[in-house]
C-alpha cells in the first residue's frame, strides 16, 4: 500500500494542473496507474470484509444474509447478482439495485433499522472504515467479475424503471436549470479535465457503471454507484436524494440498461 500512496500523490499532482493541454497526458497517466493498481486492487480488502459480513449472523434477528437474502439468483447466491440488477423483487414489490436490495434484506431479515443504516451510508474523507453496506455491495459486486451486464429489461417493471430513469436524466431543474444530460448527454464533454461519459450511448453507459463500487483515490475511500448518484445530484445543484430511494434505482437502471451486453470487470478504482 505504501507505494500506492506515493503513486497517488504523484498522480494527483499530475491531475490538478489547470492547462487543458495536460488533459491527455493526465488521462494516459491515470490509465497506466489504474492498470498497475488493479493488479493488487485495494477493493479486495473491502470485498473480504463484505464477505465476512455476508456470512455473519447479525442484527437483532441474528441471521446471516447468506442464509436469508435473495439477490435474485437464489437464496444466498451472489454470483451474477450485480450484473443482473436492477431487477424486480416480488417480496418487496419493487425494482431494486443491489445496494437498495441489501438494505432491504438487512432491515427485513436481520432486523436492522433503516434510519440507522441511512445515517451514514457512504464513507467520508475522514472515516477510517467504509460502512458495512459499502463492504457488502463490494463483496456482492465481486461475484459478477468478468460477467456481462444482463439487466432484465424484458421485464415490464424493469423497463418502467429504465424509462423513468431516462426521463429523470433529461429533467432540467434547480438554480442552473441543469439535467444529468446537460453534463452527460453529449459526447466529449469535460469538466475540470474529467471526461464526462455520455450516458445515452452504450459506450458512455459502460463507463458510467464500470469500476463501481470503486476505490476513490481522492480521499482514499471506497464508494458505490449510489454514492456517485448522490454526488451528481450535488453537481446538479439538486437536493440530495433520500438514501436507497426508487429515484436512484431508476437512474442506475437507465445506465445499466444502456450498458447491457458489456463486460463488468468488478470493483475498481476511480480518481
Ligand atoms: C454539472 C455537471 C454534472 C451534472 C448535472 C451531473 N454530473 Fe455526473 N459527473 C459530473 C462530473 C464532473 C463527474 C466526474 C467526477 C469525478 O470523476 O470525480 C461525473 C461523474 C458521473 C458518473 C461516473 C462516471 C465514471 O467515470 O465513473 C456517473 C455515472 C454520473 N456522473 C451520472 C450522473 C447522473 C445520473 C446525473 C443526473 C442525476 C449526473 N451525473 C449529473 C458532472 C455532472
- The 10s digit of each residue's pLDDT in 136-155 is 999 999 999 999 999 999 99
Whether the CB of 213 sits within 6 Å of ligand 1: no
Atom 29 in ligand 1: residue holding the nearest Cα: 208
pLDDT value at residue 3: 41
Instruction: Exactly one of 69, 105, 180, 232 is catalytic; name it.
Output: 232
**What spacing in Å lies between the alpha carbon of 241 and ligand 1's midpoint?**
15
Q: Is 184 in the pocket of ligand 1 (CB under 6 A)?
A: yes
Q: Tens-digit pLDDT profile for the chain (271 aa)?
A: 334 444 444 444 334 444 455 566 777 777 777 666 666 678 999 999 999 999 999 999 999 999 999 999 999 999 999 999 999 999 999 999 999 999 999 999 999 999 999 999 999 988 989 999 999 999 999 999 999 999 999 999 999 999 999 999 999 999 999 999 999 988 877 776 667 999 999 999 999 999 999 999 888 899 999 999 999 999 999 998 999 999 999 999 999 999 999 999 999 988 7
Question: What pLDDT score does 192 carry?
Answer: 66
Q: What is the 193 CA–ligand 1 centroid distance (Å)?
A: 13
Residue 180's contacts (CB-CB under 8 Å, 6 or more residues apart) are 168, 169, 170, 199, 232, 236, 251
183 is catalytic: no
- Asked whether the beta carbons of 198 and 183 are under 8 A apart, the reply is no
- Angle (CA) 197-198-202 rounded to 5° is 100
Angle ∠(150,152,158) on CA atoms, nearest 5? 135
Residue with cell 460477467: 147
Report whether 271 contacts 23 (CB < 8 A).
no
How many Å is the Cα radius of gyration of the chain?
18
For ligand 1, whether the C-beta of 180 sits within 6 Å is yes
Amino acid at each position: 500500500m505504501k507505494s500506492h500512496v506515493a503513486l497517488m500523490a504523484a498522480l494527483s499532482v499530475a491531475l490538478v494542473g489547470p492547462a487543458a493541454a495536460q488533459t491527455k497526458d493526465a488521462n494516459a497517466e491515470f490509465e497506466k496507474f489504474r492498470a498497475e493498481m488493479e493488479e493488487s486492487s485495494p477493493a479486495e480488502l473491502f470485498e473480504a470484509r463484505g464477505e465476512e459480513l455476508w456470512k455473519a449472523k447479525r442484527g437483532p434477528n441474528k441471521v446471516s444474509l447468506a442464509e436469508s437474502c435473495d439477490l435474485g439468483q437464489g437464496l444466498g447466491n451472489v454470483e451474477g447478482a450485480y450484473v443482473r440488477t436492477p431487477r424486480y423483487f416480488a417480496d418487496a414489490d419493487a425494482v431494486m439495485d443491489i445496494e437498495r436490495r441489501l438494505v432491504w434484506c438487512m432491515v427485513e431479515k436481520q432486523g436492522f433499522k433503516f434510519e440507522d443504516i441511512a445515517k451514514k451510508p457512504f464513507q467520508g474523507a475522514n472515516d477510517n472504515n467504509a460502512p458495512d453496506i459499502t463492504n457488502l455491495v463490494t463483496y456482492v459486486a465481486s461475484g459478477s467479475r468478468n460477467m456481462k451486464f444482463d439487466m432484465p429489461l424484458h421485464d415490464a417493471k424493469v423497463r418502467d424503471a429504465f424509462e423513468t430513469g431516462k426521463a429523470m436524466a433529461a429533467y432540467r431543474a434547480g438554480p442552473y436549470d441543469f439535467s444529468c444530460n446537460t453534463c452527460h448527454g453529449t459526447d466529449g464533454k469535460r469538466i475540470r479535465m474529467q471526461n464526462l461519459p455520455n450516458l445515452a450511448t452504450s459506450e458512455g453507459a459502460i463507463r458510467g457503471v464500470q469500476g463501481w463500487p470503486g476505490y476513490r483515490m481522492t480521499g482514499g475511500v471506497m464508494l458505490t454507484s449510489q454514492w456517485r448518484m448522490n454526488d451528481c445530484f450535488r453537481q446538479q445543484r439538486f437536493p440530495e436524494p433520500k438514501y436507497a430511494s426508487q429515484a436512484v434505482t431508476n437512474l442506475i437502471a437507465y445506465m445499466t440498461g444502456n450498458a447491457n451486453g458489456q463486460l463488468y470487470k468488478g470493483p475498481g478504482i476511480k480518481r
